[in-house]
Amino acid sequence: MYYIDPHIHMVSRTTDDYETLAKMGCVAMSEPAFWAGFDRGSVESFRDYFRQLTEVEPKRAAAYGIQHFTWLCINAKEAENVSLSREVIAMIPEFLERPNVLGIGEIGLNKNTRNESIIFLEHLQLAIQYDQQILIHTPHLEDKYQGTRMILDMLCDDTRIDHSRVLVDHVEEHTIRAVLEGGFWAGMTMYPISKCTPQRACDMVEMYGPERLMVNSAGDWGPSKPTAVPDFILEMRRRKHPESLIRRVVYENPIEFFKQSPGFKFVPRDADSAILQ
Amino acid sequence: MNASPCTANEILQREFLEIRCKVLELAASLDRLERAEGSVAGDVRLTRVREALELLLESRPDRAEQVQLTFSRPYDSAWQTAFGIVEH
């Protein structure tokens, strides 16, 4: 089955991973900007990172027939440095017209601090000003519930934000309902230890239905599994769910959400086999 | 919504060994803590674990959600006022 991974950090993965994902049916992916594992020292580091996301990764992906899209921001961890964050936010518009850019992300909260909230709000202003879609990171573990509620407060306070153009990622059992009831899209991230498992992601599809719901691997430099979406597909099949339901979650839903962005020039595999470059 | 195509019997048939394994892993972890030098009896993390284990014995359809909330920091709806952040 063809699928799209809507959240995966390929700058952290090897070329072998691109090959494996292609063999497993991955036809497209979106890569939000995130924390590199260390705090970067200047806006120039981010400019280089955004070049990597808009120039290098699309080529690496295309070599395996995968279409690569991306999101730009300064992540919540580095948002504690407010002055650097503002420099990065001011620089982002240089890249918004690049052909694989879908919007602003993954913005959000990490430890739910005042500075993180201020920079989150400034990212929202940027997205509104440039009519961009938004991809949101919600915090981990004990901070997730509080942080997700805070994020939803900020999103709902601003009437200019179209909820159907916002993806709130890393939802789990205690946050998914509020996100979906708010009219937002929700992403379930499947990690080996923290976040969600393929089994629990299937449970949430069964409990809430497939509407505005996606699954992703968030494969990055930490303990993660870039093939988590195929694991989800297998678990859904083991539970006897129809192929149409599985396809909706792993393929049709990402397309429905992403196509709201002018940067999503996706070529379906069935319609055009010439995407291998 | 409950859209599982499998019956309860089918799910138990498929998952019993996994459930048994997970319970055993938990039991062994708690035994390991018991055998080790020192005491963590007053550690709030262990308190949360005990609260979560008690939740598992309740008959309800949202145990996973409740366990998540057990391990979560509380949300204060007045956080924006506390931070001095003005609503848009």
**Residue A269: what pLDDT?**
86
Contacts of A89 (CB under 8 A, 6+ apart): A73, A74, A119, A122, A123, A126
pLDDT at A275 over 50: no
**Residue A277: what pLDDT?**
37
Q: Are A18 and A61 in contact (CB under 8 A)?
A: yes
Q: Quick one: average pLDDT of A123-146?
A: 98
Q: Are A215 and A8 in contact (CB under 8 A)?
A: no
User: If you ran DSSP here, which 8-state letter would residue A166 be given?
Assistant: E
Q: Quick one: average pLDDT of A104-113?
A: 98
Write down the residue that tokens 């982002």 correspond to. A92
A178 touches chain B (CB under 8 A): no
Q: Which residue of A has its CA nearest to B1?
A: A207
**Residue A195: what pLDDT?**
79
A138-152, A197-211, A261-275: range with lowest mean pLDDT? A261-275
Angle, CA of A6, A12 and A18, to the nearest 5°: 65
Per-residue pLDDT reduced to its tens digit, B8-46: 999 999 999 999 999 999 999 999 999 999 999 899 999
Q: Using 50, 70 and 90 to split pLDDT, how confident is the model at A230?
A: very high
For chain A, how big is the Rg over CA atoms in Å?
17
B87 touches chain A (CB under 8 A): yes
Per-residue pLDDT reduced to its tens digit, A5-15: 999 999 999 99
Contacts of A75 (CB under 8 A, 6+ apart): A33, A34, A35, A106, A107, A108, A110, A137
B80 touches chain A (CB under 8 A): yes
State the alpha helices, DSSP H only, in chain A: 15-23, 43-51, 57-62, 82-91, 114-129, 144-157, 176-181, 198-208, 228-238, 243-247, 253-258
Element (H or E) spanning A146, and its range? helix A144-157
State the alpha helices, DSSP H only, in B1-88: 8-35, 44-56, 63-70, 79-83
- Here the tokens at position B81 are 């006022």
pLDDT at B79 over 60: yes
Mutation target for B interface from A113, A122, A173: give the one with most B CBs within 10 A: A173
User: CA A82, A88, A90, A93 torsion: positive or negative?
Assistant: negative
Per-residue pLDDT reduced to its tens digit, A144-193: 999 999 999 999 999 999 999 999 999 999 999 999 999 999 999 998 87
Q: Quick one: average pLDDT of A83-110?
A: 98
Q: Quick one: average pLDDT of A102-112?
A: 98
A207 touches chain B (CB under 8 A): yes
ipTM for the whole predicted complex goes beyond 0.90: yes
B51 touches chain A (CB under 8 A): no
Tell me the pTM: 0.95
pLDDT at A131 over 70: yes
**Residue B1: what pLDDT?**
57
C-alpha B86/C-alpha B81 separation (Å) is 7
Cβ-defined contact of B88 to A159 (cutoff 8 Å): yes
- What is the nearest CA distance from A241 to chain B, expressed in angstroms? 7
Q: Quick one: average pLDDT of A250-266?
A: 97
